[in-house]
């Protein structure tokens, strides 16, 4: 149903958490009165924006927790209902379909890839159908540049807005509101969702008004991170084969090449913390493939990405897909003759 810009409507999403009654203005994306009665998440301030959220994987769950803690009312949908139950217990509201999550006027997606995103975008129960005119879709997933540009056009033809806001950070950062966001899209739409973006992470990098360019930055950044895992693995193995204990090598490398990424991934490799995964190998392989696709379309040679892809494929062949990407170390060790 299409609503006039100033029309207020009572909240009607199924399985409501115990909030007081309220009226919502699609024009401002704010509640006139909404008093939280109880919630499993400590509240900071009062309810502010009404936002849909589709995709409750490790990252999505943490992001929803952060939005709830910041005082936003979050309407959630996920393919597997068990994960919905977890965040509903914290104060989120259950949506029956992606359509219903999008109907509130602003909707985030945080899904594995292009195909998973398309599955919730298209069709009569999808986000495109549910998002009202002038509504905003914020895509925080890591998507291909081609698909991101396509989404922007599909939303534009419906009078909707599309903002790309992929994130850097692991699940713990998502739950703490400490993500770094790369943002691109219409300036007005970005400003309208700024309170939500700021809740997820105070550091936001706005690229320009072309959403797909935020995903280009995200793919280039993930390529850098995954290559760092490869380089650290090779360096540790080289030092060990020369008789230097790994912890001694990392003591030097961590000081000389000090950075949050070197420290985090170096310690993960040193301690062989492959479970539970912060970033699954299968998703890392997907991102390397997307980076290589972008490289081909822009005629950009990426020989290191080719090597990382090959080693990731070897790890996948040995059943490591659900472990952390740092399990790439095992492939490097095997090539060097270490058990």
Query: Catalytic site residues?
Result: 218
For residue 5, CA distances in Å to 27, 28, 105 come to 5, 9, 11
Largest CA distance in the chain: 72
Return all residues near 175 (Cβ < 8 A) that are at least 6 apart. 61, 62, 65, 66
42, 65 Cβ separation under 8 angstroms:
no
Question: Token digits for 293?
Answer: 């696709």
Query: What span, in angstroms and rounded, lies between the C-alpha atoms of 192 and 172?
Result: 26
Residue from 295, 304, 281 nearest 228 by CA: 304
Please name which of 285, 291, 289, 288 lies closest in space to residue 320, comparing C-alpha atoms: 285
The DSSP H or E segment spanning 238 is helix 211-241
Q: Tokens in use for 255? A: 């000081």
Q: Are 97 and 77 in contact (CB under 8 A)?
A: yes
Beta bridge partners of 94: 76
CA distance 204 to 181: 5
> What 3-state DSSP class applies to 323?
coil
């Amino acid at each position: 149903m299409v609503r006039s810009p100033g029309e207020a409507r009572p909240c009607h999403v199924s399985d409501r958490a115990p909030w007081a009654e309220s009226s919502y203005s699609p024009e401002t994306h704010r509640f006139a009165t909404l008093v939280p009665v109880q919630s499993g998440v400590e509240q900071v301030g009062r309810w502010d924006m009404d936002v849909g959220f589709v995709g409750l994987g490790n990252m999505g769950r943490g992001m929803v927790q952060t939005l709830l803690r910041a005082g936003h009312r979050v309407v959630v949908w996920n393919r597997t209902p068990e994960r919905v139950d977890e965040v509903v217990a914290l104060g989120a509201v259950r949506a029956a379909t992606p359509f219903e999550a999008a109907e509130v006027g602003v909707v985030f997606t945080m899904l594995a890839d292009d195909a998973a995103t398309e599955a919730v975008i298209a069709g009569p129960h999808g986000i495109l159908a549910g998002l009202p005119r002038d509504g905003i879709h914020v895509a925080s997933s890591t998507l291909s540049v081609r698909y991101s540009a396509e989404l922007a056009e599909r939303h534009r033809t419906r009078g909707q807005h599309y903002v790309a806001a992929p994130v850097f950070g692991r699940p713990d950062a998502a739950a703490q509101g400490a993500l770094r966001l790369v943002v691109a899209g219409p300036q007005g739409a970005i400003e309208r969702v700024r309170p939500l973006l700021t809740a997820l992470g105070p550091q936001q990098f706005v690229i320009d008004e072309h959403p797909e360019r935020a995903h280009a930055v995200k793919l280039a950044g993930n390529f850098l991170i995954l290559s760092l895992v490869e380089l650290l693995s090779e360096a540790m193995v080289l030092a060990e084969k020369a008789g230097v204990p790994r912890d001694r090598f990392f003591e030097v490398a961590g000081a000389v090449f000090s950075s949050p990424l070197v420290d985090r991934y170096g310690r993960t490799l040193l301690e062989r913390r492959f479970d539970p995964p912060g970033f699954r190998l299968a998703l890392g392989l997907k991102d390397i493939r997307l980076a290589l696709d972008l490289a081909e379309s822009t005629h950009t040679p990426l020989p290191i990405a080719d090597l990382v892809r090959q080693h990731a494929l070897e790890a996948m062949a040995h059943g490591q897909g659900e472990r952390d990407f740092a399990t790439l170390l095992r492939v490097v060790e095997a090539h060097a003759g270490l058990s």
